[in-house]
Amino acid sequence: MREKIIHKAADLFLNFGFKSVTMDDIANEMAISKKTIYVHFANKTKLVEAVTFSIFENVCEGIDGICNTSENPIQELYDIKMFVLHYLKNEKSSPQFQLKKYYPQIHTQLTLKQFDKMYGSVKDSLQNGIDTGLFRQAIDVDFIARMYFNGMTGIKDQTIFPLDRFDMEYLIESYLEYHLRAIVTDKGLEILNTFTKENQS
């Protein structure tokens, strides 16, 4: 039952936001009593915490699968972008923003976990790009990996990029191209151009 509650709560939170969805909403959706939820979670904060880290683990599994099967590191980043947007329902409820605003401690924990995961994954991807001649030999892998995380986190800050002006898919797509154009070789640029043309058409 605990996993079913997490699964349903995750779906509701991603669609409507952490703030909007109540314990009553979750109970009604599952046709169970609110008491049943409280058997497994002492309060909404504990449920939000469990859901947040469950989503994080599922996203990590998906990213690992992509990293193991992608043809090259450029394809990998575009595949990860599509997977994350689809899994997080295009971030239409602004989950990261709401988490930071209403559950700051959970947001801080999540950010640290995200950094550890993304930093390691991006460093490996960058090195692979260098080794295969798609990324420039001279790039500072450690610096770029940290900048990539900082940028991906930054575009989700609605005070700088309000969602009524910037669609999340547009932001991620634009940042991805911005990031890659700074580090690709001529060989890498040919591959990148095919992706940008596909996304524009």
Report the predicted TM-score, pTM, of the whole model to 2 decimal places: 0.87
CB 37 within 8 A of CB 8: no
HSE-CB at 134 with a 13 A cutoff on CA atoms is: 18
What average pLDDT does this structure show over 39-50? 97
What is the reported pLDDT for 36? 96
Q: Which CATH class is domain 52-200?
A: mainly alpha
**Tens of pLDDT, residues 113-169:** 999 999 999 999 999 999 999 999 999 999 999 999 999 999 988 889 998 899 888
CB 146 within 8 A of CB 119: yes
| pLDDT bucket at 85, cuts 50 / 70 / 90 | confident
CA distance 32 to 35: 8
Q: Evaluate if residue 90 carries a pLDDT over 80.
A: no
Q: Evaluate if residue 87 carries a pLDDT over 90.
A: no
Where are the domains positioned within the chain?
52-200
What is the reported pLDDT for 158? 85
What is the reported pLDDT for 169? 87
CA distance 84 to 46: 24
CA distance 122 to 108: 21
Two structure tokens written together for 20: 């909007």
| CB-based contacts of 41, cutoff 8 Å, min separation 6 | 5, 47, 50
HSE-CB at 17 with a 13 A cutoff on CA atoms is: 10
